[in-house]
Amino acid sequence: MLSQKSDYARTRDAFRWDIPRHYNIGVDCCDRVADLSPDAAAIIDASGDNPRTVTFARLRSLSNQMARLLSRHASAGSRIGVLLPQSVETAMTHLAAFKLGAISIPLFTLFGPDALRHRLRDSGACVLVTDAAGAAKIDAIRADLPDLVCVIVIGPDLDATLAGLPDDFTPARTAADDPALLIYTSGTTGAPKGALHAHRVLLGHLPGVEMSHDFLPQPGDRIWTPADWAWIGGLLDVLLPALHHGIPVVACRFAKFTAEAAFALMRDHGVRNAFLPPTALKIMRLMPDPPQLNLRSVASGGETLGTELIDWGQRVLGCTINEFYGQTECNMIVSSCAALAPAVPGVMGFAVPGHDVQVIDPDGQPCPVGAEGDIACRSPDPVMFLRYWNNPAATEAKMRGNWLLTGDRGTWCPDGRIRFKGRDDDIISSGGYRIGPAEIEDCLLTHPAVQMAGVVGAPDPIRGEVIVAFVQLVSSAVGEDALADTLIAHVRNRLAAHEAPRRIIFAGCLPLTTTGKIIRADLRAQLAQG
């Protein structure tokens, strides 16, 4: 645990990693806490009309039963997909997979068939746990998934799903470096890549989570995020660290995020800590006369926060919004912390204790203060991924010597904080999601009217960026509003709503390199020129 000292430097210098040789996320976040505080609230499921509270003792029983069910079709090293919304069922399934020694694959419930097909097929998942809505999606693509031998559908009656299964289970004795999670992340070229993480990844997250929440845990803490648990921000920045610390997690993700619903949820359920992506904060800021909350800490990440948003947080939320930074492959490595130093708008924060974060030049050498370079983290590091699944070339490209490259550019500030300058690739940051253009371009190309497509991000005051697609049509097609709407729906239905373009621009031709690659920088320049 991160121990608070009088300032950042002393806090950093006092920190030491304590990573045991053998470690299991499921045992740590469930069984260990259940032994200490069996009747303590683990998850408060506020998704329905009748909120339910599940204790750590109950969560242990449920996850043990699910582990027994999974063990009929999976074993250590097997990949298990989890296609469920924020819920008790999601938490127990991940914990069960960890206890089994299997590799859990979080999957977003709004994914369309193409997105699900790629992730399940690439991973070789043998079991999928989902609900009726997810099962309907899988039925349509089941023939394309030869490794998927079992789909477990959890109905409204959880006890019926687990009926007859003993509630005891002997967990696998996993090493801290054994694989536990496979989280897919978008890239600028090709299909999404699976980032494989070890059990130690949770321990690697803890200092950053604790720092971004002004030294979590504190008495009375209770946490919620609108970020789906299928993403690293929801799963490893909120759910699992909170369970590790014995902090109740409020589970509720709205079909559509609104400021009114977010404020009401946090008020009604006594939320003390929240991870709110910048887009959520910007939407909440527009609400007139919001109710008073009792927040102790608010963390945010995904894009740099400005003066206006930080000032609003202090006035309305009653606390300074702490900004943190990371990515799927290497998360929670930079953070601000109001308990240690006042916020500086436009600056991400300090390197989280335990992580060697640098701004480096092309030779891998640290840059001086004020000089722009690549933000990187030195390997080995407990929070760092093991590798990309079945993609050694991409894994090698992610490293520069012992440095993992984040793909972001930054500068050192004189006080030791890092200022974000921008991406060095074409990743789009929209609404808290990091979106790669390649998958969207490939999806557009499956429409018979499209000959070529180039996808970029355009600045947006609420979402950070919105997706814009430049489309070159086949000779027989006519670029009109109806076709634009059709193409947007095509992407939404096959991939996901957050990957659907907000705007289609029909172009006679697209700028290409001599080798035929789309020059996305030229497309962004065209947008800037209007």
Residue 118 lies in a domain: yes
Question: Which pLDDT score is estimated for 317?
Answer: 98
Residue 319: inside a domain: no
Tally of domains in the chain: 2
Domain boundary among 149, 170, 199: 199
Domain membership of residue 284 (yes or no) is: no
- Boundary (domain end) residue, out of 171, 199, 227: 199
Q: What is the DSSP letter of 506?
A: E
User: Around Cβ 181, how many Cβ atoms within 10 Å?
Assistant: 27
Beta strand spans in 395-492 (E) = 399-400, 403-412, 418-423, 428-430, 433-435, 450-460, 464-473
Domain hosting 485: range is: 428-528
Residue 48 belongs to some domain of the structure:
yes
CATH of the domain at 460: 3.30.300.30
336 lies in some domain: no
Q: What's the confidence (pLDDT) of residue 188?
A: 59
Q: How far is CA 180 from CA 96, 202, 373, in A?
A: 11, 10, 33
Q: What pLDDT sits at residue 422?
A: 77
What is the structure's pLDDT at 516? 64
Residues 6+ away with beta carbon under 8 Å from 359: 366, 367, 371, 372, 373, 374, 375, 376, 410, 411, 412, 418
Which CATH number covers residue 124?
Answer: 3.40.50.12780
Residue 338 to residue 319: CA distance in whole angstroms: 9
pTM of this structure: 0.90
pLDDT of residue 515: 55
Domain boundary among 199, 214, 232: 199
pLDDT value of residue 514:
58
Q: What is the mean pLDDT of each run of 10 residues along the chain (530 residues)?
A: 95 98 99 99 92 98 99 98 98 99 98 97 99 98 98 93 97 99 81 96 99 98 97 97 99 91 98 94 92 98 85 96 96 98 92 98 95 96 99 96 94 94 82 87 91 92 95 90 96 95 95 75 90
Cα–Cα distance measured from residue 518 to residue 511, given in angstroms and rounded to the nearest whole number: 6
- 493 found inside a domain: yes
